[in-house]
Structure 1
C-alpha cells in the first residue's frame, strides 16, 4: 500500500523529471533550431593588413590562399594576415581576380591582360589584347570550358564582352552595343550573368546580360540607374550592387530594387549571407538579399571588393581614390554563436570595380 505522503513524494519527483526534460528540450530547440544566419559574424571586422605604394582592387579565395589583385601587383596569403607578392609575368592594372574552383584568373585593364594561377603565387601569362579595340578588361570568369571577360571605359562607354573557348588564349569580341561597359561577370548554375551599364544619350542605365554558353547573349534592362559594379549569387538569388544601391532577381529577367544609399562596389555570398561593401567603409549584410543591415567595418577607407572563403568574409579598400593607402579587413568566422577569433589569431578555422 502506498501511503499518501509517499504518493506525493513520487508525484513531485515525476514532476521534477518532466521539468528537467522540458528545460533540456527547450535548450536543444534553441540551439539547433536557430539558423546560423542569425549569428552572422559580420558584425565585427578585423584589420589584417595595411600599407601604401599599391592600389588594390579585388580579392578572392581558393586552394587555401587569399589573393588580392592590384596595380601591377598580385599578393597572396594563407592566413589573410601575412602577405607575399606573387610572381607576375606582365605588368598591368589587375582590376579583377576570380577563382573558378580550380584556377585563379586575373584580368588587366590597361593591356587587356589575362593571367591564371593554381595557387595565386605563381602566375602565367595567358594572353594580352588590344586596348585600342575596347579591350579594357574589368572582369573575368571561367565556366563550362569557356572564359568570359567584360570591359570598357566608363568615360567613353566603349566596351563589351569577350569569350574564349581555348582557355583564354584567343578571344572573340561580343559587343552588345558600342555604348556598353561591363563591370562584372559571374557563372551561375551553368550560365553566365554579366552586369554593367550603357549610355542612352541622357545618362547611364543598368543592363544585365545573360548567356548559356558565353557566346550568345541576351540583354535585360533593369529599369534602375544602379550603375552596376558587382554581382553575386546565392540561395537562388542574383544580387547586383552599384552606385545607386542594390537590386536583386531570382531569374535575371525581373529585377527589384532592395536598397538605396551609399555607393557600393562589391558583393559576395557565403554560408547563407550576402555582404555588400562600398564608400567610406560601408558594410551591409543580408540573409535573404532583400533586407539589408548596416554593419560597422571600423574603417573609413572605400571598400572596393568583398569575398568569402574559409568561413569568413574579407574585404580590400583604399583610403582615397587619389592615394595608394590600402587596407585588408576580415570578419569573424561565420556561423558561430561566440566571437570567431581575436585579431591576429587565425587558429582553429577552416568577390568589382572597373576603371
Structure 2
C-alpha cells in the first residue's frame, strides 16, 4: 500500500511539472510604444511562438523580440511586401502581397519559395494538422484564393486549392480540428483537411477582416467594428453587435475601424485605425484604452503574459503596468505614539491625500505641526487631508515638531539686606512641574525673618514653602522672598522717686538681642538728700545695675531702668 501511494505522489509531481507557467499579465489600461528609434516601417502583423514575438512589415522587414519590450529589426534580401505571419509548429512562416511565402526557424535567416502565382496577393496564413494554409486573392479578377503546403515542403511547394469564391479572403485560422477562412461580403469557408472547402452562412454581408481561434471558439470581425461573429464548430455562427468600438475619424477617411483581435488573460483586445486599442471581456461591450492622433494598428497578439499591437510608422504597442510609488510616514524623533500607515500604491500624477496624526505621535516638549518632505522642514509642508500629485519616486513625509515655549522661575530677595537669592537654571514648558527652592543663599533682612516665597512682592499672591511644587503656567514666574517683621522692645527710664530733673528718653525700638547703650543722667535727675548712682532693672536695686554707656542685649520684653 505504501508503494502505491508513493507511486501516486510521484505521478502527481511529474504532472505538475508538465503544467506550463506563464508570466503574470499587465493591465490593459496603459500602453507604451516600444518601437526602436527611427523605425518607420509599416508593420502588418504579429504573432508569438517558440519564445519569440515576430512582426512583419510591408517593406519586407522582420522584427523580433523575446519580451515585447526590446526589438531587433532584420531585413532579409528575399522578403518584401509581407502581410501576415504564423508562429506555429516551431517555425515562422510569412506570406506577402506579392504571392510569396517565406519561412525561418530562428526569425533571422529566411528561405523564400517562388512557386506561387505571381498574380496573387496573400493576406493570411495559419498552421494546423501538419499543413500550412495561406489565403488571399487572384489580382486579375479579384477572386479568392487558398494555397496549402505541407510541413516538409514549406515554403518551397504550395498547391492552389482552386476554391470557388469571388470574395477576397482576408484571414485564416485553425482550431477544433478545422480550418476557417473569411473574407469580403461575409464569406466564411471551412475545411477539415485544407483541401476541400465548404461555404458557411455567416448571416452578414459585411467585409470580414480576419478570423482567429480564441478562448475555445472561432472569432471573426467585420472591418467596420460593429459586427463580430463567433462559432464553436466553424459551421454555425452567432452574430454580436458590439458597443464601444467607435472611431468617427475612421469613418470620415474610410480607413476601417477594427483590423485585428486577440485574446489573453481573460481579455479580448482589438486594434484599428488611429492607433485605437479596445478591450472587452465578452466581445460585446468594448472600452477604448488607447487612441492616437494618427497611425493605424494592423495586428495584435498575446504571449508571455503581454499583448503586442503593431502598426504603421513602426509602432509597436505593449500593455504595461505603470510603475507605482508609496508614501511612508516618518515619526522624526517622536517619543511616543505610532506612525500613520498608507498602504496604497500610487501611479505617477495620482492624487495622494495626506493622513493626519492618526497614531497620536508625541515628542517630549514639542507639539506636532504636520508633515514635510524633508526631516528638517526645508521641503514641502502638508497638513492632514491636504493633497498632492504623486511624482516619479517614493515619498517620505516627516513629522514636524514645534518646540513648546519654555518659561523660567526667578527668585527675588524682596529688600533683603544680606545673602543671595537662589537660582533655578531650568526651563519649564507649560504644565511642567516646578519644585520651589529653599533659602539656599541665606537671605536675611534686618529686623525680619524669612517666611517663604510668594508670587507677589506684597504677599498677595500664592505662597510657597521650600520643596512645594506647582505647574508652570504660560509665562515666566518670579517668586518673592517674604519677610515677617521681628518683634521690638523699648527701654524706659524711671526717676524712681526723683525730686527734680527729667528722665532720659530712649526713642529706639530694639529687637531681641539688639545692643542697648544705657543713657546717662542726661536730664539732671535729683532727689533731696540723695546722690544719683546709675540705673538698675529693679526699683529697689536688686536687679542688674548699669552705669552710663554700659551696654546689654535686649531680651524678649520691654525694659525699665530705674534711677
Q: Distance in 1 between matches of 2:89 and 2:320?
A: 23
Report the counterpart of residue 308 of structure 1 in structure 2.
Answer: 302
Report the counterpart of residue 191 of structure 1 in structure 2.
Answer: 178
Contact 2:135-2:172 at 8 Å conserved across structures: yes
Larger proportion of strand: 1
Q: CA deviation at 1:268?
A: 0.9
Q: Distance in 1 between matches of 2:287 and 2:180?
A: 26
Is residue 290 from structure 1 mapped to residue 290 from structure 2 by the alignment? no
User: Aligned match of 2:239 in 238, 244, 256?
Assistant: 256
Is residue 267 from structure 1 mapped to residue 261 from structure 2 by the alignment? yes
Contact 2:189-2:197 at 8 Å conserved across structures: yes
Q: CA deviation at 1:237?
A: 2.5
Report the counterpart of residue 135 of structure 2 in structure 1.
Answer: 150
Superposition pairs of residues 117-196 of structure 1, within 5 angstroms: 117-132=104-119, 135-152=120-137, 156-165=141-150, 166-177=153-164, 179-196=166-183
Report the counterpart of residue 217 of structure 2 in structure 1.
Answer: 237
Describe the shift of the 1:91–1:255 C-alpha distance in structure 2 as closer, same or farther (beyond 3 A).
Answer: same
Superposition pairs of residues 1-355 of structure 1, within 5 angstroms: 41-49=27-35, 51-70=38-57, 71-86=59-74, 88-110=76-98, 112-132=99-119, 135-152=120-137, 156-165=141-150, 166-177=153-164, 179-197=166-184, 205-245=185-225, 246-251=227-232, 252=234, 253-259=236-242, 261-262=246-247, 263-297=257-291, 300-318=294-312, 325-332=313-320
Q: CA deviation at 1:266?
A: 0.9
Q: CA deviation at 1:87?
A: 5.6
Q: Distance in 1 between matches of 2:201 and 2:118?
A: 27
Contact 1:164-1:172 at 8 Å conserved across structures: yes
Q: Distance in 1 between matches of 2:52 and 2:140?
A: 35
Q: Distance in 2 between matches of 1:313 and 1:104?
A: 19
Q: CA deviation at 1:74?
A: 1.2
Q: CA deviation at 1:76?
A: 1.3
Describe the shift of the 1:144–1:339 C-alpha distance in structure 2 as closer, same or farther (beyond 3 A).
Answer: farther
Contact 1:85-1:121 at 8 Å conserved across structures: no
Structure label with greater radius of gyration: 2
User: Scaled by the length of structure 1, what TM-score is found?
Assistant: 0.72
Structure 1: give runs of 5+ residues left out of the alignment: 1-38, 198-204, 319-324, 341-355
User: Scaled by the length of structure 2, what TM-score is found?
Assistant: 0.47
Look up the SS of the partner of 1:80 in the other structure.
coil
Contact 1:97-1:140 at 8 Å conserved across structures: yes
Q: Distance in 2 between matches of 1:122 and 1:78?
A: 17
Look up the SS of the partner of 1:131 in the other structure.
coil
Q: How many residues align?
A: 285
Contact 2:274-2:292 at 8 Å conserved across structures: no
Q: CA deviation at 1:339?
A: 9.9
Q: Distance in 1 between matches of 2:90 and 2:223?
A: 32
Describe the shift of the 1:177–1:308 C-alpha distance in structure 2 as closer, same or farther (beyond 3 A).
Answer: same
Larger proportion of helix: 1
Q: CA deviation at 1:109?
A: 1.3
Report the counterpart of residue 6 of structure 1 in structure 2.
Answer: none
